[in-house]
A and B are shown apart, each in its own frame.
Chain A
């Protein structure tokens, strides 16, 4: 029953709207008949081939940089007794919460040709490094923005490695980098690949960053520019959307295929986590230096944001001319609604995500429903659908639908924004829920059924409580990323009073006097989401400690 309900939900709010948009790609622009001629146009145009290459290049190099940021943070915090591990892990997730527009503006002010860093470099050494020029800028911003996906997944995988694996390698004479390269990293590979695939796909599909940096020659911006141009009937935008979706699904599938049968961490459990060791003092200095450097780099957009929100005028100078609170007063005067809307929308969306995510995880891993895997595939496919496509698809699908209790068409009802956010962030929550249910031994559920609990009661009293940590983690990821989403929202906001924070920032950033206020609103967004993340991190940690050794008992028989 639940399976059918979810399937209908996904079909109605993901598959159908998307098909409604992309079928144009298969229409002959002259006659309207079904055809593939648009695809041959795509591949014969050198502009599109170059765009495809650029997108591929940017996504690949971003994965490399994201890896460079994530691996030291993940390794140091899981491997060594490191004070501030929780803080580092929390700060490491903050880059995911980069509010639209202001993040890129801040990065330009810091790293642009005439940004703070280059102005200093020019003054001291007479050099200018093109951090933000063209594709470089996209790679820098994207890898900073999305590296937490690798950090989260890799840390989890490292925490799951059986201590005995590492110890037996040491026993056989392996140590240092060799130990890491030959034993630890291969064992953590599934987590790494999951994170890296996510980074690749997100960067490949991302529209906002290249657009804000005025980079047009990539697939997603090409699609967007063509879809949203005034009065143009070119189907190429939709063709590109189809190609984006198909290629992302392909990347997802490849990563799954590559990792098939290699998920060692769930097979081998016992020790629970890498052995943590103390650092010698010179090692400690080195590690902290690396960690601080990385954190400074990945948090630089937020530092820039902070400066922007407090600075009076910041133009062609290393730092703002002076500091003021005026932007905050300006922002607070008009933005209360944005903040409450965001908390409501992102909160509801994340709630839907974990409910649906838990249900899908349960159906896939605990039932024998025919073709149940497709629920997972469908929900995950949302990852590959650009936000604009969802936004337009919703307008096309739900604008003619009226509900008795809704004032006006469904497409302009605020709840549609919640559904769009839920669909867009469902894959994150789903992965967390799947990971959580895989950690729960089936026997714990069978024991409950054996003692007279029905399936429903068992889920409620045993499965869900044991999944709490994972569910909460899914909730946070969905909530944090939904609260700064713009690309689908911007199409769906029908009233200013219904607008979320990201939309408010967008509005501010359209006028010269709104830049500081927009940054201030961005700071508020980051602070709210960071606090929420930190608090729930603490809750998860406490839960873990409570169940730590019991978890091991359950694992022993696995």
Chain B
């Protein structure tokens, strides 16, 4: 699509919004770089869709500022914002053909008819639907409808592209394919893109950076790996991947630091500050040893209560003597011996990888 789109940054300052008495967004601050592929990740009800919709200008008027390319759009109606949005359901108009759907935004912008025809053809070519221009949306498959929705949005060259759960209505195979197509398209057009998802795999694979939301508050912003490795709080830790989270106190005895959970499990630590804290241990950062075999000096004793075969790994649930339990992942290989429920095991923790979150 030839003419490169001038990428615009999005800045959100202190944005709050309530439906009646229910506060949905509570003082959101965020900076999205021009040309960046950014994700809003969070469970349902976290406010991520509401945040996306307020950028587009839908829903109640929020308090605070929304800057697009430096201009505050918070008071503008949706049609004056120049923000392209692809809806979760695609929202294709059933009474118009594919070409009419795509031409709509250009017509509303009073673009001359020859140019409209040209740009519609280009947009449809870009998404590979040139042969479907005269079809009705109802005659297309889910993936094709998704592409029409994309074409319809990018044809108007918006400053920012918003995608609301773009892959949720597609089946697994198509999802992977569309993921790649959207990414390729975004790179080609260099469009600032924000998409909303509840699926961390989608967010991880597609976005450069992401914001994790919960209860109307941005919990943490950063690159996917960064957030996984260094969660700022227990919510982020628990929401991204699987995590064993313990609440307790870090105690210092001489030089040795150790964590004591509320129920009394004691785990030695490599570093940290004394005081009340949470610790996060990822399941893959532990190893299991059979009883009788030599185990690390600091290993904990436990009993296998559940075994789940996940493919690449086997996930064990281990009951500790204190009554707490742990999830431990062991990579799986052909014909490898594994533990069964009831087996006594020792749990070795790679203490260097324990993340401590101070209260």
On A, residues with C-beta under 8 Å from B are 441, 443-444, 446-455, 457, 461-462, 465-466, 546-554, 556-557
* B window 84-135: CB within 8 A of A: 84-85, 87-95, 104-105, 108-109
Answer whether residue B138 sits at the interface, using C-beta atoms and an 8 A cutoff.
yes
A119 to B226, CA, bound (A): 95
B169 CB contacts on chain A under 8 angstroms: 556-557
Are A554 and B57 in touch, CB under 8 angstroms? no
A549 CB contacts on chain B under 8 angstroms: 138-139
Are B79 and A454 in touch, CB under 8 angstroms? yes
B56 CB contacts on chain A under 8 angstroms: 446, 450
Are B104 and A553 in touch, CB under 8 angstroms? no
A546 to B87, CA, bound (A): 23
Given the known A-B contacts A450-B56, A547-B94, are A553 and B156 also in contact in the complex, defined by CB atoms under 8 Å?
no
B57 CB contacts on chain A under 8 angstroms: 449-450
Which 10 pairs from chain A and chain B are nearest by CB?
Answer: A550-B94, A451-B105, A550-B138, A557-B89, A549-B138, A447-B91, A449-B78, A443-B91, A452-B108, A450-B85
A452 to B105, CA, bound (A): 6
14 contacts between A and B (CB under 8 A): A444-B91, A446-B56, A447-B87, A447-B91, A450-B79, A450-B83, A450-B85, A451-B153, A452-B79, A454-B77, A548-B138, A550-B95, A554-B91, A557-B88
Partner of A465, one of B83, B95, B108: B95
Are A446 and B78 in touch, CB under 8 angstroms? yes
Answer whether residue B136 sits at the interface, using C-beta atoms and an 8 A cutoff.
yes
A62 to B332, CA, bound (A): 74
Given the known A-B contacts A451-B105, A457-B108, A556-B169, are A441 and B78 also in contact in the complex, defined by CB atoms under 8 Å?
no
Are A441 and B136 in touch, CB under 8 angstroms? no
Answer whether residue B58 sits at the interface, using C-beta atoms and an 8 A cutoff.
yes
B81 to chain A, nearest CB (A): 8
- Chain B 57-90 near chain A by CB (<8 Å), digits 1 or 0: 1100000000000000000011110111101111
Partner of B136, one of A454, A465, A546: A546
B89 CB contacts on chain A under 8 angstroms: 441, 443, 553-554, 556-557
A540 to B325, CA, bound (A): 63
A552 to B139, CA, bound (A): 12
**Nearest CB in chain B to that of A548: its residue:** B138
A167 to chain B, nearest CB (A): 22
Answer whether residue B152 sits at the interface, using C-beta atoms and an 8 A cutoff.
yes
Answer whether residue B145 sits at the interface, using C-beta atoms and an 8 A cutoff.
yes
Are B108 and A446 in touch, CB under 8 angstroms? no
* B window 29-45: CB within 8 A of A: none
Are A450 and B92 in touch, CB under 8 angstroms? no
Partner of A547, one of B82, B95, B145, B152: B95
B153 CB contacts on chain A under 8 angstroms: 450-451
Chain B: interface size category = 20 to 34
A455 to B139, CA, bound (A): 28
A553 to B94, CA, bound (A): 9
Answer whether residue B9 sits at the interface, using C-beta atoms and an 8 A cutoff.
no
Are A466 and B83 in touch, CB under 8 angstroms? no
Are B108 and A451 in touch, CB under 8 angstroms? yes
Answer whether residue B137 sits at the interface, using C-beta atoms and an 8 A cutoff.
yes
A447 CB contacts on chain B under 8 angstroms: 85, 87, 91-93, 152
Given the known A-B contacts A451-B104, A461-B104, A466-B94, are A550 and B78 also in contact in the complex, defined by CB atoms under 8 Å?
no
**Nearest CB in chain B to that of A551: its residue:** B94
A136 to chain B, nearest CB (A): 49
B90 CB contacts on chain A under 8 angstroms: 553
A218 to B113, CA, bound (A): 66
A448 CB contacts on chain B under 8 angstroms: 93, 104, 108
Partner of B84, one of A450, A453, A461: A450
Partner of B87, one of A443, A548, A550: A443
B83 CB contacts on chain A under 8 angstroms: 450
Are A553 and B138 in touch, CB under 8 angstroms? yes
B120 to chain A, nearest CB (A): 13
Are A553 and B137 in touch, CB under 8 angstroms? yes
**Nearest CB in chain B to that of A453: its residue:** B108
A557 to B92, CA, bound (A): 12
A450 to chain B, nearest CB (A): 5
A466 CB contacts on chain B under 8 angstroms: 93-95
Given the known A-B contacts A447-B85, A450-B56, A550-B137, are A441 and B156 also in contact in the complex, defined by CB atoms under 8 Å?
no
Given the known A-B contacts A547-B95, A550-B94, are A446 and B87 also in contact in the complex, defined by CB atoms under 8 Å?
yes
A514 to B298, CA, bound (A): 111
Partner of A451, one of B77, B88, B152: B152
**Nearest CB in chain B to that of A446: its residue:** B58
A267 to chain B, nearest CB (A): 16
A252 to B42, CA, bound (A): 44
**Nearest CB in chain A to that of B82: its residue:** A452
A550 to B108, CA, bound (A): 23
A472 to chain B, nearest CB (A): 14
Are A462 and B156 in touch, CB under 8 angstroms? no
Are A449 and B79 in touch, CB under 8 angstroms? yes
**Nearest CB in chain A to that of B145: its residue:** A553
**Nearest CB in chain B to that of A558: its residue:** B89
**Nearest CB in chain A to that of B78: its residue:** A449
A411 to chain B, nearest CB (A): 43
A457 to B78, CA, bound (A): 13
**6 additional contacts (CB under 8 A) given A443-B88, A449-B78, A453-B79:** A447-B87, A447-B93, A449-B77, A553-B92, A553-B138, A554-B91
* B window 130-165: CB within 8 A of A: 136-139, 145, 152-153, 156
A551 CB contacts on chain B under 8 angstroms: 94, 138
A297 to B138, CA, bound (A): 42
A452 to B77, CA, bound (A): 9
A548 to B138, CA, bound (A): 8
Given the known A-B contacts A452-B156, A453-B79, A547-B138, are A462 and B93 also in contact in the complex, defined by CB atoms under 8 Å?
yes
B156 CB contacts on chain A under 8 angstroms: 451-452
A553 CB contacts on chain B under 8 angstroms: 89-90, 92, 94, 137-138, 145
A452 CB contacts on chain B under 8 angstroms: 79-80, 82, 105, 108-109, 156
B61 to chain A, nearest CB (A): 10
B138 CB contacts on chain A under 8 angstroms: 547-553
A441 to B138, CA, bound (A): 15
With a 10 A CB-CB cut-off, give which of A441, A455, A461 has the most chain B CB atoms: A461
A131 to chain B, nearest CB (A): 49
B137 CB contacts on chain A under 8 angstroms: 550, 553
A457 to B92, CA, bound (A): 17
Are A441 and B91 in touch, CB under 8 angstroms? yes
A444 to B145, CA, bound (A): 14
A372 to chain B, nearest CB (A): 16
B164 to chain A, nearest CB (A): 9
A457 to B79, CA, bound (A): 10
A457 to B110, CA, bound (A): 13
B85 CB contacts on chain A under 8 angstroms: 446-447, 450
B125 to chain A, nearest CB (A): 19
